[in-house]
Amino acid sequence: MSWNIHRAHLIRCTSPWMKFCTKRFNSASSNSRQAFLETLEGQTGITCLSLNRPQSKNAISTTLLKELLESLETAQFDKSIRVLILRSTTEGSFCAGADLIERRSMSQVQVSRFLSDLRAAFGKLETLPMPTIAAIDGPALGGGLELGLACDLRVAGHSVTKIGLPETALGIIPGAGGTQRATRLIGLSKAKDLIFTARMLSAKEAFEWGLVDYLSSPESNAFERAVQLASQIGNNAPLALRAAKQAISRSEDLALEPGLDFERASYETLLSTQDRMEALVAFKEKRHPIFKGE
Name the residues annotated as catalytic.
Answer: 98, 143, 146, 167
Best CA proximity match to 247, nearest among 229, 234, 259, 236: 259
Helices (H), 77-215: 100-104, 108-126, 143-149, 178-186, 188-197, 203-209
Helix axes 62-76, 108-126, angle to 10 degrees: 30
Answer whether 13's CB lies under 8 Å from 50's CB.
no
Q: E strands along 35-175, which residues?
A: 35-40, 46-51, 83-88, 132-136, 140-141, 153-156, 163-164
How many Å from the N-terminal Cα to the C-terminal Cα in the chain?
36
Max Cα-Cα span within the chain: 65
